[in-house]
A and B are shown apart, each in its own frame.
Chain A
Amino acid sequence: MPSVSMTVNGKPVTGDVEARTLLVQFLRENLRLTGTHVGCDTSQCGACVIHIDGIAAKSCTTLALQCEGAKITTIEGLAEANGPLHPMQEAFREHHGLQCGFCTPGMIMAALDIVRRRGNDLDEHTIREQLDGNLCRCTGYHNIVKAIQAGAKAMAAGAPTAQAAE
């Protein structure tokens, strides 16, 4: 089996994988980083969104071997252990932007990418359009939209925008 090396949440990792192993399988099964979820098999739901070199990607549609040498950030890497939460995480809690929690890691990682691309002053319409790659069955999106809007503002207001692990 080929070997792959990458940096995940700031730590160098190496593993032997089948060529067809998906990044999400490598994260969940090899590294036991189970915060990244799989909710579909057609790249629709976004529960698996992580960041590759700072850009959001669906880890269910990325081969582990494609990520040789890449810097990967998962939901587990957003806040330091025992440190403060990332403002976007805090915003999801404050605004009740989650119910069952299954889509939440992907939503938060996608939200950070919206901020990266569209800035910190986001209107409701922009957020709704930009969330096209993420599905939630619990919240009706109402509070997710509020959370992302507030999280983006909090990031601008001095809370750390750089991800902890990068």
Chain B
Amino acid sequence: MSATGIGAAVRRKEDFRFITGKGQYTDDVTRPGETRAIFVRSPHAHAKIKNIDVSEARRMPGVIDVLTGSDLAGDKIGNLICGWMVHSKDGSPMKMAPHPALAAGKVNHVGDAVAVVIAESVLLGKDAAEKVKVDYEVLPAVVDPAQAKTGPQIHDLAPKNTIYEWSLGDAKATEAAFAAAKHVTKLDFINNRLAPNAMEPRAALAEYDAGTDQLTLWNTSQNPHVARLVISAFVGIAPEHKLRVIAPDVGGGFGSKIFIYPEEVVCLWASRRVRRPVKWTSERTEAFLTDAHGRDHVTHAELALDANGKILALRAHTIANLGAYMSTFSSSVPTYLYATLLSGQYDIPQIYCEVDAVYTNTVPVDAYRGAGRPEATFVVERLVEVAAREMGLEPPELRRRNFIKSFPHQTPVIMAYDAGDYHASLKKAMELADVKGFAKRKRDAARHGKLRGLGYSTYIEACGIAPSQAVGSLGAGVGLWESAEVRVNPTGSVEVLTGSHAHGQGHETTFAQLVSERLGIPFENVSIVHGDTDKVQFGMGTYGSRSGAVGMSAIVKALDKVEAKAKKVAAHMLEAAEGDIEFKDGKFTVAGTDKSAAWGDVALNAYIAHKFSGQELEPGLKETSFYDPTNFTFPAGCHICEIEIDRETGKTEIVNWIAVDDFGTVINPMIVEGQVHGGIAQGVGQALLEGVVYDKEGQLVTGSLMDYSMPHAHDLPSFKVETTETKAPSNPLGMKGCGEAGAIAAPAAVINAITDAIGTEELAMPATANAVWSALQRATPRVAA
């Protein structure tokens, strides 16, 4: 292994600009004549707009224009869309309600945009926005997904606020398996609603060039090409070739920056109307009111087992809250990214899952780190843990009895697992966690008035999203391949243009490691270009832990083509047959001779084209690949969480965290560990601290970082992170993906640990000190026993 090749903990190329304040995030970009957009937002969860009076706002100093939904409709700007068609059990298509970028006659959640002020500055724009008079007729609202079907109707086309009633699996066979079971474990779950809170708030800067009729959008996006496609083909702002989308440095995404939002549409539209650049930068409160939230499931689930603890079947019914409108990929999250993972790491003969997706008067809900898979893992890992406790088995033993041991393994819920070793990760994690010493630690803790608990989470996820044909058959409106272009310059340095997008993942480093190792050229001689539709060929972007397994596979395929072409050039240079040319460590050699050509000489000769004729070979050295995966990848592992609870206050302290993950091939262990740390932190946040709260009228109670509890440094421990490795057979590097594992594994590990300590399973997330203390009061007799 070279110092900068695959497997090396190379320090990141991108860091210099970030540690010196030279990053260029969207809000850092400024254009001559720039104006600022300030949105007027609904203070009501559900209301008819009787009238909007913008006359006084228009007269305020520094105001250039004030626009409303009727202006948007007048310019025939189309609605935002959800790009994944899900059908109900009865075959009917999902009920996608219109989602205009500025409300048309009715608002459906607090924060719904009603009008926009375009002003010379943020401060002047805010002054004017206060003068926009909106006359509302307030309607009753519904916020609880469990009440949605009987609540006030939000959209005319969706009776009972129901978007779809979907199912997966064999209901009858599952019922029969339950009828034959010796033991059934039943649990009710609320998977708490989360606000993603990337530290960089969303922003958009749009500029219209009247000379070329060209629009440019700088945008906080995880997938700029998809943004361009949707804004062009569905919203109809501009033809695709007249719209450039640039996602520069992006300060975290976690899913929330995948989606196409009203604000970027309005900035583009307004910039053409006012003929000046228009910038909008979200404030944190606006982020809470408009960024797509995550999770928000209400679930009842049951697990059927035989007398020996062998799982016979699993069934679940979930109500998924999709909020006031269907966000870009919202339909897929509680269906194909959730129910398909309900087999976990276990051989479960029958699984049946029903999902009802509903509208409520809340912010739209869509993918957030893990997207469906944390919800599935929580269901499976809580059921398994509780089943073990009920049956008097050690939780790891019940898991071992049910682990899938041979591959490929076809689950009853679509997925075909291709590789893994679940015993290995469990065994290693148990050793690192010193499970044998836990009983003593528990006794020691009790002497100090503390309750100590140990919780497992043996999770699986489906990453490497995704084979296009497969997802197309399930309703996806796009293909989920990835692209790469490898441009070799005449001096031998290399640019890789990738359709993946980095917003913290370190692609400029890891992708360069791959190229450096493969071509035998210095790491410093490789640049990674991403996030600009004018530079990069079409790409699908970064989410679902796909940039390694899919994005880097595309680079490998393009490198294969580069090598093949370079060998032809070398053959002409060395006057040898192409088949005799070998390429190793940056050198082309004629097999069995000492005749060779260095990488840089071959690159130069490809461009000067003096050694071959145009009939023999095209000049140049640049190749493109569009790589479509043949299967999902299946990262899996075991996290063990050990906690202590103060009996008097209910406060939980995480005292030890072990993560053993199988991500297949690891390119840069430093970056992979960082991804795991961050994922665990978000999962612990969900388990202990975070929860979006609406009151009954649909007012957002947790609308700022004072009210919504994001994990601080002192809420978290240091983590012990290790890996095991089985290669993913479906891609050339054997990579599986690591970005979401922590967020998927962690919530169940934490709650399993706390419930182990307090002796009751009745504990909802977030398990705040108050929640744990209350649960302890209810559980006192069991704890005392």
A residues near B11, Cβ cutoff 8 Å: 93-94, 96
Determine whether B20 belongs to the interface, using a CB cutoff of 8 Å to chain A.
yes
Which of A51-59, A63-71, A100-108 participates in binding chain B? A100-108
A40 CA / B201 CA spacing, docked (Å): 8
Would you list which residues of chain B between 171 and 201 have a CB under 8 Å from chain A?
Answer: 197-201
A1-43 interface bits toward B, Cβ cutoff 8 Å, 1 = contact, 0 = none:
0000000000000000010110001001000111111111110
The distance from the CB of B352 to the nearest CB of chain A, in whole angstroms, is 36
Interface contact B14-A42, CB-CB below 8 Å: no
Determine whether A145 belongs to the interface, using a CB cutoff of 8 Å to chain B.
yes
Q: Which listed residue, A39, A104, A145, touches B713 by the CB 8 Å rule?
A: A145
Interface contact A96-B23, CB-CB below 8 Å: no
A118-156 interface bits toward B, Cβ cutoff 8 Å, 1 = contact, 0 = none:
000000100111011011111111111100000000000
A residues near B678, Cβ cutoff 8 Å: 99, 137-140
Please name the 3 residue pairs, one residue from A and one from B, whose CB atoms are nearest each other, closest first: A35-B21, A101-B18, A102-B251
Interface contact A144-B713, CB-CB below 8 Å: yes
B residues near A44, Cβ cutoff 8 Å: 704-706, 710
Q: Which listed residue, B23, B704, B711, touches A40 by the CB 8 Å rule?
A: B704
Given the known inter-chain contacts A37-B25, A96-B12, A100-B252, please indicate yes or no for A108 contacting B714, CB distance below 8 A: no
Pull 15 A–B residue pairs with CB atoms less than 8 Å apart, ordered by A: A35-B23, A36-B21, A37-B199, A40-B284, A41-B704, A42-B705, A93-B16, A96-B11, A96-B673, A101-B504, A102-B25, A105-B19, A136-B713, A140-B677, A142-B674
Interface contact A99-B252, CB-CB below 8 Å: yes
A96 CA / B506 CA spacing, docked (Å): 10
> Taking CB as reference atom, which chain B residue is nearest A104?
B18
Interface contact A124-B718, CB-CB below 8 Å: yes
Interface contact B19-A34, CB-CB below 8 Å: no
Determine whether B119 belongs to the interface, using a CB cutoff of 8 Å to chain A.
no
Interface contact B704-A137, CB-CB below 8 Å: no
Interface contact A99-B23, CB-CB below 8 Å: no
Determine whether B712 belongs to the interface, using a CB cutoff of 8 Å to chain A.
yes
Determine whether A79 belongs to the interface, using a CB cutoff of 8 Å to chain B.
yes
A20 CA / B17 CA spacing, docked (Å): 31
Determine whether A98 belongs to the interface, using a CB cutoff of 8 Å to chain B.
yes
Determine whether B249 belongs to the interface, using a CB cutoff of 8 Å to chain A.
yes
> Taking CB as reference atom, which chain A residue is nearest B251?
A102
Q: How large is the interface on A (under 10, 10 to 19, 20 to 34, 35 or more residues)?
A: 35 or more
The distance from the CB of A12 to the nearest CB of chain B, in whole angstroms, is 20
Would you list which residues of chain B between 642 and 681 have a CB under 8 Å from chain A?
Answer: 670-671, 673-674, 677-681
Other A-B contacts than A96-B670, A101-B249, 12 sampled, CB-CB below 8 A, are A40-B284, A44-B706, A89-B20, A93-B19, A99-B505, A100-B252, A128-B714, A128-B716, A131-B713, A140-B678, A140-B719, A141-B713
Interface contact A45-B718, CB-CB below 8 Å: no
Interface contact B705-A76, CB-CB below 8 Å: no
A residues near B250, Cβ cutoff 8 Å: 100
Given the known inter-chain contacts A42-B706, A140-B677, please indicate yes or no for A37 contacting B712, CB distance below 8 A: no
Which applies to chain A's interface (DSSP): helix, strand, loop or mixed?
loop
Interface contact A142-B719, CB-CB below 8 Å: yes
A residues near B15, Cβ cutoff 8 Å: 92-93, 98, 101
B residues near A145, Cβ cutoff 8 Å: 713, 718
Interface contact A100-B681, CB-CB below 8 Å: no
Interface contact A139-B674, CB-CB below 8 Å: yes
A78 CA / B20 CA spacing, docked (Å): 8
Determine whether B394 belongs to the interface, using a CB cutoff of 8 Å to chain A.
no
> Taking CB as reference atom, which chain A residue is nearest B24?
A34
Count of chain B residues with a beta carbon within 8 Å of a chain A beta carbon: 59
Centre residue among B22, B200, B706 by max chain A CB count within 10 A: B200
The distance from the CB of B247 to the nearest CB of chain A, in whole angstroms, is 12
Determine whether B213 belongs to the interface, using a CB cutoff of 8 Å to chain A.
no
Determine whether A115 belongs to the interface, using a CB cutoff of 8 Å to chain B.
no
Given the known inter-chain contacts A35-B22, A42-B284, A137-B252, please indicate yes or no for A100 contacting B713, CB distance below 8 A: no
A81-117 interface bits toward B, Cβ cutoff 8 Å, 1 = contact, 0 = none:
0000100010011101011111111001000000000
Interface contact A108-B199, CB-CB below 8 Å: no
Interface contact A137-B671, CB-CB below 8 Å: no
Determine whether B682 belongs to the interface, using a CB cutoff of 8 Å to chain A.
yes
Given the known inter-chain contacts A89-B20, A98-B19, please indicate yes or no for A39 contacting B199, CB distance below 8 A: yes
A79 CA / B16 CA spacing, docked (Å): 12
A147 CA / B14 CA spacing, docked (Å): 17
| A contact set with B: CB distance below 8 Å | 18, 20-21, 25, 28, 32-42, 44-45, 47, 74-76, 78-79, 85, 89, 92-94, 96, 98-105, 108, 124, 127-129, 131-132, 134-145
Determine whether B28 belongs to the interface, using a CB cutoff of 8 Å to chain A.
yes
Determine whether B53 belongs to the interface, using a CB cutoff of 8 Å to chain A.
no
A102 CA / B18 CA spacing, docked (Å): 8
Which applies to chain B's interface (DSSP): helix, strand, loop or mixed?
loop
Given the known inter-chain contacts A41-B285, A45-B284, A99-B504, please indicate yes or no for A136 contacting B677, CB distance below 8 A: no
> Taking CB as reference atom, which chain B residue is nearest A89?
B19
Determine whether B346 belongs to the interface, using a CB cutoff of 8 Å to chain A.
no
> Taking CB as reference atom, which chain A residue is nearest B28?
A34
Interface contact A135-B710, CB-CB below 8 Å: yes
Given the known inter-chain contacts A40-B704, A92-B15, please indicate yes or no for A138 contacting B504, CB distance below 8 A: yes
Centre residue among A28, A100, A102 by max chain B CB count within 10 A: A100
Interface contact B21-A33, CB-CB below 8 Å: yes
A128 CA / B710 CA spacing, docked (Å): 14
Given the known inter-chain contacts A85-B20, A135-B705, please indicate yes or no for A100 contacting B712, CB distance below 8 A: no
Centre residue among B14, B21, B200, B252 by max chain A CB count within 10 A: B21
A131 CA / B677 CA spacing, docked (Å): 17
The distance from the CB of A11 to the nearest CB of chain B, in whole angstroms, is 15
A residues near B25, Cβ cutoff 8 Å: 34, 37, 102
Determine whether B254 belongs to the interface, using a CB cutoff of 8 Å to chain A.
yes
B residues near A74, Cβ cutoff 8 Å: 21
> Taking CB as reference atom, which chain A residue is nearest B684?
A140
> Taking CB as reference atom, which chain B residue is nearest A148?
B713
The distance from the CB of A140 to the nearest CB of chain B, in whole angstroms, is 3
B713-725 interface bits toward A, Cβ cutoff 8 Å, 1 = contact, 0 = none:
1101011000000
Interface contact B714-A79, CB-CB below 8 Å: no
The distance from the CB of B224 to the nearest CB of chain A, in whole angstroms, is 16
A94 CA / B250 CA spacing, docked (Å): 22
The distance from the CB of B203 to the nearest CB of chain A, in whole angstroms, is 10
Centre residue among B122, B199, B706, B718 by max chain A CB count within 10 A: B199
Interface contact B21-A105, CB-CB below 8 Å: yes
A93 CA / B13 CA spacing, docked (Å): 9
Centre residue among A45, A127, A138 by max chain B CB count within 10 A: A138
A39 CA / B704 CA spacing, docked (Å): 11
Determine whether B123 belongs to the interface, using a CB cutoff of 8 Å to chain A.
yes
A98 CA / B123 CA spacing, docked (Å): 32
> Taking CB as reference atom, which chain B residue is nearest A79?
B20
Determine whether B503 belongs to the interface, using a CB cutoff of 8 Å to chain A.
yes
A residues near B137, Cβ cutoff 8 Å: none
Interface contact A93-B285, CB-CB below 8 Å: no
A residues near B503, Cβ cutoff 8 Å: 100
Determine whether B283 belongs to the interface, using a CB cutoff of 8 Å to chain A.
yes
A residues near B681, Cβ cutoff 8 Å: 137, 139-141
Interface contact B18-A132, CB-CB below 8 Å: no
Interface contact A40-B14, CB-CB below 8 Å: no
The distance from the CB of B750 to the nearest CB of chain A, in whole angstroms, is 14
A residues near B251, Cβ cutoff 8 Å: 37, 100-103
Given the known inter-chain contacts A44-B705, A131-B712, please indicate yes or no for A139 contacting B677, CB distance below 8 A: yes
Interface contact B123-A18, CB-CB below 8 Å: yes
A134 CA / B710 CA spacing, docked (Å): 11
Interface contact A142-B19, CB-CB below 8 Å: no
Interface contact B18-A141, CB-CB below 8 Å: no
Q: Which listed residue, B674, B677, B705, B713, touches A45 by the CB 8 Å rule?
A: B705
> Taking CB as reference atom, which chain B residue is nearest A109?
B21
Centre residue among A76, A94, A137 by max chain B CB count within 10 A: A137
